Amino acid sequence: MDRKLLDLLVCPASHQPLHRLDSPQRDALNAAITRGELRRGDGRTETRSLTDALASRDGKQVYRIDDGIPVLLVEEALQTAGIDGLAAR
């Protein structure tokens, strides 16, 4: 993803800047998905693992990137308030 584009994107729910997850952050989320602990904004449990994603500055919402395209829909955002280490560094 182009850095200029990333600098323009904000979380549609909180309007915070977004940052790309690094490998340890993504691994932590995928482990939580495997355990069935992550819910989407629409209340459904997330079952698909992440290959790439963006997180809000505070790390409470995560948006998957599918085929290089960020999916910035509030109802599809992963609600990650209970997972440490996702905030921007």
Q: Is the pLDDT of residue 25 over 90?
A: yes
- The C-alpha atoms of residue 42 and residue 27 are separated, in whole angstroms, by 23
- Tokens 């910035």 identify what position? 72
- The C-alpha atoms of residue 87 and residue 10 are separated, in whole angstroms, by 14
Q: Is the pLDDT of residue 63 over 90?
A: yes
pTM (two decimals): 0.90
Span 47-66, average pLDDT: 95
pLDDT more than 90, % of the chain: 80
User: pLDDT: is 86 or 44 the higher one?
Assistant: 44
Span 40-57, average pLDDT: 96
- Tokens 């290959």 identify what position? 51
